């Protein structure tokens, strides 16, 4: 039995997020990963009240229910967890406000400038101010069809070339074998070709991380050859 949980405090729902949870669960069930599943959203009560009646989450659990459950035991750990949930409820009431981190913002801007100067075949929007959690850098090649793009995921130490629409099986049907260090993975409705990279620290200047940057761009260059190979599948 699988339980797929979407946890929210105040951030807005992504487009068709409930549907994608359901489809992911159905796909995994069909692949034999589990026998049955429940999809659930966990959030403050006032957040849950804003969800449409047609939402595909099968179960809704309010933070207030979890907070109050911890009053059943009179011991320090439960007291601490009660306070944590209470603070999350209060944060949900106030709503999410990004606090700009200048160091992280500068890192993203440096990366953009680097592509502009050295790799004009890669197109990236000029970054806006970023917060602490801005871990991904998104861009595409000049000849990328719609729905095909690169994701440098700093927190996951990888570069992905994502294809919206096709599945892993579609990709493998065109190219069944891959180098040992390249993985084909499914991320919701996006199939991706992924290569591992060293850790790029967004809390440091990009110019201080020459070797990590070189290997990152090398990984992007390797994946560039697949942009057009799978473009007909993505269209």
The pLDDT of residue 139: 96
Residue 232 has pLDDT above 70, yes or no: no
pTM above 0.85, yes or no: no
pLDDT, tens digit, 9 for 90 and up, residues 123-175: 999 999 888 888 999 999 998 888 899 999 999 999 999 988 778 888 888 88
Please state, rounded to an integer, the average pLDDT across all residues of the chain: 89
Q: Name which residue leads in pLDDT, 110 or 24.
A: 110
pLDDT, tens digit, 9 for 90 and up, residues 61-104: 999 999 999 988 888 999 999 999 998 888 877 765 667 899 99
The pLDDT of residue 34: 94
The pLDDT of residue 15: 65
SS3 annotation, 121-148: CEECCCCCCCECCCCEEEEEECCCCCCE
Residue 11 has pLDDT above 60, yes or no: yes
The pLDDT of residue 96: 58
Answer yes or no: are the C-beta atoms of 140 and 123 closer than 8 Å: yes
Residue ranges and CATH numbers for the domains of the chain are 2-94 (no CATH), 102-234 (3.30.1460)
pLDDT, tens digit, 9 for 90 and up, residues 202-223: 999 999 999 999 999 999 999 9
pLDDT, tens digit, 9 for 90 and up, residues 133-144: 889 999 999 988
Residue 234 has pLDDT above 60, yes or no: no
pLDDT, tens digit, 9 for 90 and up, residues 37-69: 999 999 999 888 888 877 888 999 999 999 999
Rg (CA), the chain: 21
Predicted confidence band at 182 (pLDDT cuts at 50, 70, 90)?
Answer: very high
Strands (E), the chain: 2-7, 37-43, 59-62, 122-123, 136-141, 148-153, 158-164, 182-187, 190-196
* Averaged pLDDT for residues 184-196: 86
């Amino acid at each position: 039995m699988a339980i797929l949980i979407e946890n929210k405090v105040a951030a807005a729902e992504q487009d068709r997020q409930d549907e994608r949870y359901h489809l992911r669960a159905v796909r995994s069930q069909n692949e034999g990963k589990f026998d049955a599943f429940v999809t659930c959203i966990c959030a403050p009560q006032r957040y849950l009240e804003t969800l449409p009646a047609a939402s595909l989450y099968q179960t809704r659990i309010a933070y207030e229910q979890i907070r109050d459950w911890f009053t059943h035991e009179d011991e320090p750990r439960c007291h601490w967890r009660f306070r944590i949930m209470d603070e999350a409820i209060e944060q949900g009431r106030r709503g999410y406000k990004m606090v700009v981190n200048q160091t992280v913002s500068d890192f993203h801007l440096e990366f953009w400038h680097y592509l502009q100067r050295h790799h004009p075949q890669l197109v990236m929007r000029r970054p806006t101010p970023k917060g602490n959690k801005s871990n991904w850098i998104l861009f595409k090649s000049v000849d990328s069809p719609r729905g095909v793009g690169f994701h440098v995921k700093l927190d996951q130490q990888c570069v992905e070339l994502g294809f919206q629409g096709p599945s892993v099986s579609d990709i493998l049907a065109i190219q069944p074998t891959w180098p040992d260090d390249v993985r084909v993975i499914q991320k919701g409705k996006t199939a991706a070709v992924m290569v591992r990279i060293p850790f790029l620290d967004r809390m440091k200047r990009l110019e201080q991380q020459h070797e990590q940057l070189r290997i990152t761009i090398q990984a992007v260059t390797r994946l560039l050859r697949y942009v057009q190979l799978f473009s007909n599948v993505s269209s």
